[in-house]
Amino acid sequence: MSHTESTPTPAQGDSHALNSDPNVAASENAPRIREVGFLAPFRWLKLGLRDMRARAGESIFFGFCFAAMGMAITLVFEHAYQYTSAMSSGFLLMGPFLAIGLYEISRQQAYNTPRPFSETLTIWRHNAGNIGVFSLVLTVIFLLWARASLIVFALFFTDEMPNLTGFLQQVTSTENLEFIAGYCSVGLLFAALVFAVSIVSIPFMLDKNRDAITAMFYSIAALARNPAPCALWAVLIVILTLLGFASFHVGLIFVMPLIGHATWHAYADLIDHTPVGPRPE
């Protein structure tokens, strides 16, 4: 198999790998966590853009799907906000199964093992149970965040929850600094938790056919090993996503595939992804 420039071979990665750390490697064949440079996320985006260009039609298809999801959530929040949590939970269950198609495209590019697009769309079936467990974990975190968010609103507002326009006006008003601080603190806490367990989890499950708990453990360990690069990666994801939403969701068509492909390269850089277990080719 051939590897992309983002993926050192085992010999090249040994200086950065945790070869014998009992907290990371349970056996000689356990994947190793690498240490990367602070600016590595920009390389991930560059390689993700390369994959996107190489498989433009397939990537844009997934981009349209994510844009439609974002638009649906926004419309529901604007006109029937009481259903936002339910719809968002459904998308959190569906999202990982959709994003895995982008990871698989980059995986195919990395290993030079192209598949028909019909197989790429259903590649999640190779580890559907564990990906489903991971999706449920994200959904539980989201529901907890939604409940905490309502509590913050109840503490500061006695009227009904504002629509999207009213919400944006309130969170940007200097008259509500305490509300802004409380709401942002709660949101940041849950966002950090989601980010910590998901940096490399699904690419890990896709590539190594491992369980969700192990994948989340490696994701947290990769963050602990590389806090600065991962923090930069989080900031870049937020900026790109906000740009996508700011363009009336049109930008999501291009931004989400880019982030998806780049996430594979983040995994490939942070984790030694030389195949060590059974994985259908």
Q: Which residue carries 């449920």 as its tokens?
A: 136
pLDDT of residue 99: 87
Check residue 125 and give its pLDDT.
83
Looking at residue 13, its pLDDT comes to 37
Amino acid at 250: V
The confidence score (pLDDT) of residue 7 equals 44
How many whole angstroms separate alpha carbon 228 and alpha carbon 222? 11
Q: How confident is the model at residue 257, as a pLDDT?
A: 94
Q: What is the pLDDT of residues 71-115, one digit of tens each?
A: 887 777 766 665 566 566 656 656 677 789 999 999 999 999 988
Residue among 279, 112, 266 at smallest CA distance from 207:
279
Which amino acid would we find at residue 255?
A: V
How many angstroms separate the CA atoms of 104 and 124, rounded? 9
Whole-number Å distance between alpha carbons of 59 and 103? 10
pLDDT, one tens digit per residue, over 145-182 is 878 877 877 777 655 555 555 565 665 666 667 777 77
pLDDT given for residue 11 in this prediction: 35
Q: What is the pLDDT along the chain (281 residues), one digit of tens a residue?
A: 444 444 443 333 333 333 334 343 334 467 889 999 999 999 999 999 999 999 999 999 999 988 888 888 777 776 666 556 656 665 665 667 778 999 999 999 999 998 898 888 888 888 888 888 998 888 888 888 878 877 877 777 655 555 555 565 665 666 667 777 777 788 888 888 989 999 999 999 999 888 999 999 999 999 999 999 999 999 999 899 889 888 878 888 999 999 999 999 999 999 986 654 444 44
pLDDT at 85: 60
Angle at which helices 212-225 and 177-198 pack, to 10 degrees? 110
pLDDT at 47: 97
Q: How many CB atoms are located within 10 Å of the residue 6 CB?
A: 23
